[in-house]
Amino acid sequence: MIPFVVLGVLGLLFLALEWQRPRRERLALRLAATLVAWTALAALLAPPKFPALAARRIGVLVTPGASMAEGRRAADSIGTAEPMVLPSPGVYDPAHLARRHPELDSLLVLGAGVRDEDWAGADRFSVTAGRPPRATGFVAATWRRAALLGDQVAVEGRFVSPGAAPAQLRLEDLSGVVDSLETAAADTTFRFSLVPKAAGRHRYVVRAVGRNGATMAAESLGVAVVAAAAPSLLLLQGTPRFETRDLTRLLAGRGGRVAVRTRVAKDRYLREFFNRRVEPFERLSPELLRSVDIVVLDGLTVNELSAPEMALLRRAVLEEGLGVLVWRDSVARAVSRNTGSDQRFFLEFPLVRQPGALTRESGVALRGPAHTGASPVEVESSLFEERPDAVPILEDGSGRTLAAVLVRGRGRIGTSLVLTPSAWAYRQERDLFEAYWGRLLGAVARDTADRWSVSPDGPVTVDQSLAITLFSSAPAPVATVRTPAGAVDTVSLRREAGSTDTWSGLYWPASAGWHELRREGGGSLDFHGEPAGSWAGADRSARARGTARRASLPPGKGPAEGGVAGVPRERPMPRWWLFVVFLVAAGWLWAEGMRTRGRTIMQ
């Protein structure tokens, strides 16, 4: 900065001297030449840049499944371009290439390719995908990494045999085969179902077995199972129910806070409290509704609520996220267009009455499709209609919805067609009874705890990026990951645009094993990182899909328009140009000075 200031001061001084010379002829030319000379001298220190077309550079990116020799042969075959053979994205990812090699504007990708998430930051490349190697083995698999105790976990995917077709695909745990599928196709899809029996970190194996009994391929996966925290519940019923006793026992046994009000006669109520202090209440109040996560009521209770209570309950659902679960009694089934709007807000569901009997026997898909017929219970014969705001929660063995929730503002209102869930408890199928209520109450409960989401849903190996999403009301959450070795890493989170409670970040597992993702002062999520080299078929398939998808998109900065293929770049002006300009201007000033001095001497 100082040299430019000095040159500027000297330039102004020389301009002033030229202006004060007594001879005024050619004054404008002398001033212009002085200005040009000093400007050229200043530009020599920092040459200006101007846009120019640089020759297009093509990089040959060698990824797993291709060799460097193949990359060099591909570079030689390109011909007129200036190819550059680059190593695998395990060393240099495309975003790194974009930063380190600004001269590149095109990539030819050989081998399996690059995953979707690894193309971030490399939008300016024009991508051409070579023919990827054939992916074999378990080429796709998805499952839930975390599940609530009693929930059904589905493992879905695709197996491609490298040779003869397998005889059987299996899902195994430490005790043996959990689920299996007989197959005779070399390329087949599969879907396994399981219901973990205990909370904890569980490991499973998907295995392909040949006709001779030998293992053709096997991969492992992890599922973290946690016991659902019992919600705080307010139960209002217009008549005593047998099911109420079993539900309150279940929640109270898990530490849930439950308040029950049962109408036993006109203007007479029985009140019961479990794991909470006794606080007799005659009417609903804002404090009472804020102290619970779910309100369970029937149609008779809805009709008996006063207008202020109805408005208070409705506001708690829409604005504060309170959940409501409706018993299907005769009043709820008789709701129609003639029913008041406040009552319809809680009782109207997209249900179609069926001719014939009011109820039927049906299984419920709580253990998976293979076991739905083992425990039939009494259900209402009405059928749910599909509607955008209706979210199915439970189905029968035929795929018909048995329970659904309606999204209402920040809250949810749900109902179930299952009339006698306690039958499972008395048939020594307590796990079905607990799974039913856990899924139903969890679907409508107020969101008070952190919720984590980790993608992709399939296998995650060492050094593969994980997209982490946290749904939390904390103002500035701090996320940490405890590695299998016990070290603690911090994950940088940023708030999603347009959201107040959604945060996202990236994490790369550096070692295989169980990792614990946790928010300081909040909830946690366990996930398992698989060893490097495992799930090779799924990795190759994901790379091929990501590269093909990226090759189908236009580059962020395409070739320059015109007859010459190239990309716009900035080049500094050559210094010798500036030096020539300085010499010409300074030389003319010197010659003009000599001419003027000679004329003065002659005179």
Write out pLDDT tens, residues 117-175: 888 888 888 898 988 888 999 999 999 888 887 778 899 999 999 888 888 999 999 99
The tokens describing 384, both together, are: 């749910």
Say if 137-227 and 233-444 have the same CATH topology: no
Contact 326, 301 (CB under 8 A): no
Residue 85's pLDDT band (boundaries 50, 70, 90)? low
- pLDDT tens-digit map of 312-327: 999 999 999 899 999 9
Between helix 2-20 and helix 27-45 the angle, nearest 10°, is 170
The residues near 471 (Cβ < 8 Å, ≥ 6 apart) are 447, 450, 451, 452, 453, 501, 502, 503
Taking the C-alpha atoms of residue 298 and residue 316, their distance in angstroms, rounded to an integer, is: 18
DSSP 8-state code for residue 417: -
CA proximity to 102, closest of 81, 124, 75, 128: 124
- pLDDT tens-digit map of 471-498: 887 788 889 999 999 999 999 889 888 7
Mean pLDDT is lowest, of 2-6, 101-105, 265-269, 563-567, for 563-567
Mean pLDDT is lowest, of 29-43, 300-314, 397-411, for 29-43
Beta-carbon count within 10 A of 91 CB: 8
The tally of CA atoms less than 13 A away on the side-chain side of residue 56 is 20
In CATH, the architecture of 137-227 is Sandwich (2.60)
Taking the C-alpha atoms of residue 49 and residue 573, their distance in angstroms, rounded to an integer, is: 6
Asked if residue 289 has pLDDT above 90, the reply is: yes
pTM above 0.85, yes or no: no
- CATH number for the region 451-529 comes to 2.60.40.10
Taking the C-alpha atoms of residue 104 and residue 97, their distance in angstroms, rounded to an integer, is: 8
Contact 109, 63 (CB under 8 A): yes
Residue 258's pLDDT band (boundaries 50, 70, 90)? very high
Beta-carbon count within 10 A of 520 CB: 10
Asked if residue 198 has pLDDT above 80, the reply is: yes
Percent of the chain residues past pLDDT 70, beyond the cut: 84
What pLDDT sits at residue 536?
92
Q: Long-range contact list for 11-17, CB < 8 A, 24+ apart?
A: 11/35, 11/38, 11/39, 11/42, 14/38
SS3 of 327, please? Answer: coil
What pLDDT sits at residue 51?
59
DSSP 8-state code for residue 38: H
Q: What single-letter amino acid sits at 342? A: D
Taking the C-alpha atoms of residue 333 and residue 416, their distance in angstroms, rounded to an integer, is: 12
Residues forming beta bridges with residue 190, ordered by sequence position: 157
Which CATH fold topology does 233-444 show?
Rossmann fold (3.40.50)
Contact 84, 76 (CB under 8 A): no
Percent of the chain residues past pLDDT 90, beyond the cut: 27
Q: What single-letter amino acid sits at 58? A: I
Mean pLDDT is lowest, of 8-22, 211-225, 324-338, for 8-22
Residue 561's pLDDT band (boundaries 50, 70, 90)? very low
In the predicted model, what is the mean pLDDT of residues 198-224?
93
Task: Count each helix (H run) and each strand (E run) in the chain, helices first.
Answer: 14, 34
| E strand or H helix at 550 | helix 536-551
The tokens describing 215, both together, are: 């293992």
What pLDDT sits at residue 16?
67
Q: What is the mean pLDDT of the chain?
A: 82
What pLDDT sits at residue 17?
64
The residues near 338 (Cβ < 8 Å, ≥ 6 apart) are none
Q: Give the Å distances, CA to CA, from 364 to 149, 403, 415.
A: 17, 10, 15
**So where are the chain's domains?**
2-48+573-602, 54-125+555-570, 137-227, 233-444, 451-529
- pLDDT tens-digit map of 328-346: 988 888 876 667 778 889 9
CA proximity to 275, closest of 249, 241, 245: 249
